Amino acid sequence: MERYVLKTANEGMAAAKAFCISESDESGNIAKISFDSAVESLKKSLEDAASKAGKEYDGMIEAQILLLEDPHFTGEARRLMEAEGTDPIEAIKKAALGLAQEFEDNPNPYIRGRAADVKGLAGELVLIISGRQTEELKEDAILVAQEISPALFLKLDRQKIRGMVTKKGSSTSHLAVLAGSVGIPYLYGDFDQDSINDGDRLIIDGESLTVGPDDETWKEALKKAEKQALAKSGKTAGHTDTGIFANAGSAGDVERAANAGADGIGLMRTEFLFLDRASAPSEDEQFEVYSKAAKLMGEKELTIRTMDIGADKTPAWLDLPSEKNPSLGCRGIRVSLQNEQLFKTQLRALLRASANGNIRIMLPMITSVWELDDAAALMRGCMKELESEGLSCRMPKVGVMIETPAAVMMAPELAEKADFFSIGTNDLTQYTMALDRESEDPGRYEESGIEPVFRMISLIIKAARGSGIDVCVCGELAGREDMVKRLIDEGVDKLSVSVAKLERTREKAAEAEIGRKRPVSVTCGYAAPADGRIVPMEEIPDPAFSSGELGQCIGIMPENGRVYAPCDGRITSVAKTGHAVTIEDPEGKTILIHAGIDTVSLDGKGFVLKAAEGDRVLKGQLLLEFDRKIIEDAGLSPMVIVALE
């Protein structure tokens, strides 16, 4: 049994037998079909695929067809055949290698990614010309290859593709987009391809590839894969107070998330509409995609991020200046504001689509308040235009992605103007630790970035609570099972993860919430302020509470030293000694949360407040922490009491 840790182009889990795709050897092939007929045949198969794939992939498949018409590819092949008498198969090979090398020499990673497309198209042309066919999948399988072209992927029965593993690849390649559109796990990187044969047992789980697992490991993997398939059909774990949302890269991803029982879409990327095409998408094209996604989600939230292009995601048609360090240059909202008409086209499409569902707009890479102001001003201008044109539209909630230390420091000011925050922990870690996300070996630095990032998350949440807005985490941290409880304890409202991780994330969230969802009484409907056993009012060992003098009360004998808000509301006072907090709920009622009995005598020793007077809080948010041992060593009770006036 061999295990490899590879790069993840599309997350997921799969257990199936290997289907190996070897590089075709063009030598010895005899041309049985004319070159032009082969080109037309392949073009038609791509057009057929486009009709089945959905409108959001029209641009990508169009880019494949344009390559078939590229004078540097098929044009050069024709020249070699006509001027030099080169055999058609040899001409295709030479022309493809020449153009592929041009692409590979380009500094733009998306342009470099087209090299694989050219090689793949060449391979398909060779098969057609020689009268051979791509071998069909007869059973569920994991594809194994040096690289797989989009053309080949589109020809295979995608219902039988359980996963893919290639030596060459990219998370931004056409193949990755196609795999993501149908939820197929895809890994790429260095592994011993020659040691894998057709029919070998393979397991893909997250970023790991297991070759030749033993019987027990194989059986467990098959069970896990079946369980995940059920999750994708909507049979996920039960309700949690924390919203479990999905990330999406296309309308197809949105549909799968809806079917899998996601509470909403926390991040729908729109880059797929702008990349891998000859020109920018029109307003109507974008409107159709956004509207389709909104209708799929119904009343559930659909948070759509405006184009986050630049850095490693630059369209060939957009003339962005070459930069020595593009990750620190023109990307995200900076590209949008510098290309106003392009941005307005997207905003108009989003505002129109918002009339068809519960859409929220999210702005990427915000680092300054003026960027949010400028984007909001453009949005208002677009609304006026649409209204004057008599087009149906709606102004949705507008939020920002917090993904730089600058945005963290400006969070209080941003929270005053934004409707919500979304924390992009991938970029936040990168910029905090000065660590390239694409680094080959981040080693201990990546893990050591967790602590400073969590300190930033605390600051973000505090700023959000002060303005009463919600916070979602949509980076990789949200999908880490070992981080779910910690994020919930910090007070995040939503976690947004890949569809493949929805069920497990919900399970971990439910575990983290145990003890908090018990009602304080049969009448008030508030949540318990702590994890632990409920103590009726008459059993509280303090007459001020048990007599009802302070109102309706209930106690919790805590399992740990954490105290949570029993409801949404505003903090009206905090004790100087840190042991008590009062909250005014949305109906104007006052709730007292008291940690320990007679703990005022400790004069704050062992208590740490996590919220301040005037802050707005949400139910379940962490309010304060205390050291239970200090309380008990002083001969006092650590019981947490909530009293309603």
Q: Which positions are catalytic? A: 174, 474
Tokens describing residue 147: 């690289």
Cβ-proximal residues to 140 (8 Å cutoff; 6+ apart), any chain:
16, 17, 160, 162
Question: Residue 255 and residue 298: Cα distance in Å, rounded?
Answer: 11
Instruction: Classify residue 162 by burial, with Cβ atoms within 10 Å: 0-12, 13-18, 19+.
Output: buried
Which one, of 328, 309, 314, 232, lies nearest residue 269 by Cα?
A: 309
Tokens describing residue 518: 């018990």
Query: At residue 358, what is the residue type?
Result: N
Question: Residue 108 and residue 196: Cα distance in Å, rounded?
Answer: 33
Q: Are 499 and 257 in contact (CB under 8 A)?
A: yes
Question: Residue 497 and residue 85: Cα distance in Å, rounded?
Answer: 55
The phi-psi region of residue 223 (left if phi > 0; otherwise alpha if psi is between -120 and 50; otherwise beta) is alpha
Cβ-proximal residues to 201 (8 Å cutoff; 6+ apart), any chain:
15, 17, 18, 211, 212, 213, 218
Cβ-proximal residues to 316 (8 Å cutoff; 6+ apart), any chain:
108, 110, 111
DSSP 342-393: HHHHHHHHHHHHGGGS-EEEEESS--SHHHHHHHHHHHHHHHHHHHHTT---
DSSP 13-37: EEEEEEEEEPPP--TT----S-HHH
- Residue 422 DSSP label: E
Which one, of 608, 616, 529, 527, lies nearest residue 571 by Cα?
A: 616
CA-CA distances (angstroms) from residue 354 to 272, 308, 334?
20, 20, 24
Q: Beta strand 141-145 with 13-21: parallel, antiparallel or unpaired?
A: parallel
